Amino acid sequence: MRGRFGLWLVAIAAVGLAARLVYALAIAPDLPARGDTLLYHFLANGIADGKGYIRPFSELQHGEPLPTAGYPPLYPLYLAAFSAVGLDSLTAHRAVSCLLGPVAVVLVGLLGRRVAGERAGLVAAALAAVYPQLVMVDGTVITEALYAPLVAGILLAAYRILDRPGWGSAALLGALVGLATLTRTEALLLVVLLAVPACVAAARRRPDGTRGPWRGALRPAAPLALVAVAATALVLAPWVVRNAVTMGEAIVLTTNSGHTAAATVCDETFEAGSPYLGFVRHACALRGPCAGIRDELEQAACQRDEAWRYLRDHAGRVPVVVAVRILRLWELYGYQDDLGYGELWSRSIPVAKAGLVMYGLLVLAAIGGIVRLRRTGTTLWPLLVPALLVTISAATTFGFSRYRLAAEIPLVVLAAVGVVWGADAVRSRTGRASRAARGPAAAPGSPGPARCAPAPPCGTATAPAR
């Protein structure tokens, strides 16, 4: 990152930090702190106070701190590092979360440069700096603040292994997927959706830069894929061991899947005409035979069993519910529900509405970006994988714009490519129109246009024609 590109990228990242701090310190504090915002705040302070990774409010509810595996640990650990030095208030946690935003902006800029050049990289960074959907997550103390730069880093690592295949590149990609999984659990799917396919695609690379057939690349790709998977497993190992020791079970992801299942698989979220169709209804998780179970593992298992039983009894409704979940994710159904639910994690509705408008514009520009990259032969598929990831996640849980974040990173990159392509097209068309208005230019060495002889001064006699 050198020269003018680097200077511009740093300047844009500074703008992104300023936008996030304004949101976090001037807008978000006026909103009620609820839901995940408070959960991650208390989890971090529990770690910093030496109590370990404990269930929030467990001391008040049960008289003792109870360990938890309900939430991925990496983001609370990040906040806990600041809590340990005295920055333990909710306002402080909002501010330090904003430090992650410029990192995401820089990585988005580098990703845009990799796929379409420096201009596209700077436009992508500028979009990421001010895009409300990215700004809001950095100012409200939620795990997506850390997830955004990790997703950008994963995509950069995927292109790195395509450009320079090797064990180091495979290990980097796998390790980043592991870190992302410790931030949002669905990122583990990127092992199958991105890491392994990238290793196979890298193995297709021939010395002359061309690509060989897929079938012939499977055998040489195996070592790279094994390195990537091993790196992911190595990063996840401390969390799994901790859970085995403190929880009595080697939990790879989290126990929160039980609550999610209970809150998304019930009458309110399945019945036709319900305002919660394809959405989430937390009241469903607070009633029924599982609600009073104290043990976290037993409660999660009970909730999952109840959800599976409900799915079997209402199998005919599953396709409709899954379709609505996906439509909700992409803002094609119930966008007003999305705006209201966002208040649970201190999201400003006016800012969210601005984000919704910008999202629509980015989608239109991204379509042009996809067309442009296909025409230029640029490897496109890694940028589309996050959209598949979030769609699968929504189909199995519920649709909400916050959970679309992994797809927002490539969205701004593709939109930047579309914007640059459109600007070039306008400039080219304007240049042609300007040249046409001036008339055709004389060819080199040819005589210029004929000029009329000047008229004689008034009163001068001229010879009559013969």
- Can you read off the two tokens belonging to residue 156? 């950069």
Interval 381-399 mean pLDDT: 95
Span of 26-40, 113-127, 318-332 with lowest mean pLDDT: 26-40
Which pTM value belongs to this model?
A: 0.88
What are 91-143's pLDDT values in tens digits? 999 999 999 999 999 999 999 999 999 999 999 999 999 999 999 999 888 99
Position 220, amino acid: P
What sign has the CA pseudo-torsion 99, 45, 257, 231? positive
Instruction: Report the share of the chain in percent with pLDDT over 90.
Output: 60
Top pLDDT among 455 and 112 is at: 112
Position 215, amino acid: R
Q: What are the DSSP E strand ranges found in 60-191?
A: none
| Angle ∠(336,340,346) on CA atoms, nearest 5 | 140
Dihedral angle computed from the Cα positions of residues 154, 157, 162 and 167, in that order, rounded to the nearest 10 degrees: -120
- Can you read off the two tokens belonging to residue 71? 């939430």
Domain ranges of the chain: 3-254+314-424
- Can you read off the two tokens belonging to residue 353? 């509405």
What sign has the CA pseudo-torsion 163, 166, 168, 172? positive
Question: H helices within 84-117, ranges in order?
Answer: 90-98, 100-116
What are 39-56's pLDDT values in tens digits? 899 999 999 988 889 888
> What letter does residue 379 receive in the DSSP assignment?
-
Q: Assess whether pLDDT exceeds 50 at residue 455.
A: no
- Residue 270: which residues within 8 A CB-CB, separation 6 or more? 277, 310, 314, 317, 321
| Angle ∠(152,25,412) on CA atoms, nearest 5 | 25
What are 335-376's pLDDT values in tens digits? 888 887 777 667 888 888 999 999 999 999 999 999 999 999
Q: What is the pLDDT of residue 181?
A: 97
